[in-house]
Amino acid sequence: MNNRFFLTAHSGIYTLFTLALFFMPSIMWPMYGVEINDQYAYFLSQHTSIFLGGIAAISWLLRDIEPGKLAKNLFLALVILNGLGVFITVYAGLTGVFVGFGWSDPAFFSILSALSFIQFKKQPQA
């Protein structure tokens, strides 16, 4: 897939999670086995939306990036970002924080990591 399509899709995915975790944390988190039991947990979910929204904005605003060194660095950053997502969500699953639908997160981040890596490898050498 080309850079524009990939970054548009990446942005869209992160935008959906941004909106869901900001506006519906008490609906979203219980599906993962995480309880939103006070105003602080509710706020932390909304606070997480800052970063998810930022990733969505970066992907959206750079969707017309030309193939090359800058694009390669962007995709490497997305590999690292999504790789951290794999690590942290697997940890949450293994320690019992995430249950039920929570096991979809490592799969989600693994797919985005793999797709980001494919885009990274497709960029021409500088």
Give residue-wise pLDDT tens across range 105-122. 999 999 999 999 999 999
In Å, what is the CA distance from 90 to each residue of 22, 28, 86, 96, 105? Answer: 23, 18, 6, 10, 8
Of 94, 100, 91, 89, the residue nearest 31 (C-alpha): 100
Domain, as residue range, for 45? 3-122
The whole-angstrom separation of Cα 107 and Cα 32 is: 13
> Which amino acid is it at 124?
P
Handedness of CA 95, 97, 99, 105 (dihedral sign): negative
**Confidence band of 126 (pLDDT split at 50, 70, 90):** low
The whole-angstrom separation of Cα 104 and Cα 93 is: 10
Mean pLDDT along residues 20-25:
96
The whole-angstrom separation of Cα 18 and Cα 11 is: 10
How many domains in the chain? Answer: 1
| Residue entry with tokens 């694009």 | 71
DSSP structure class, residue 111: H
Q: What is the pTM of this model?
A: 0.91
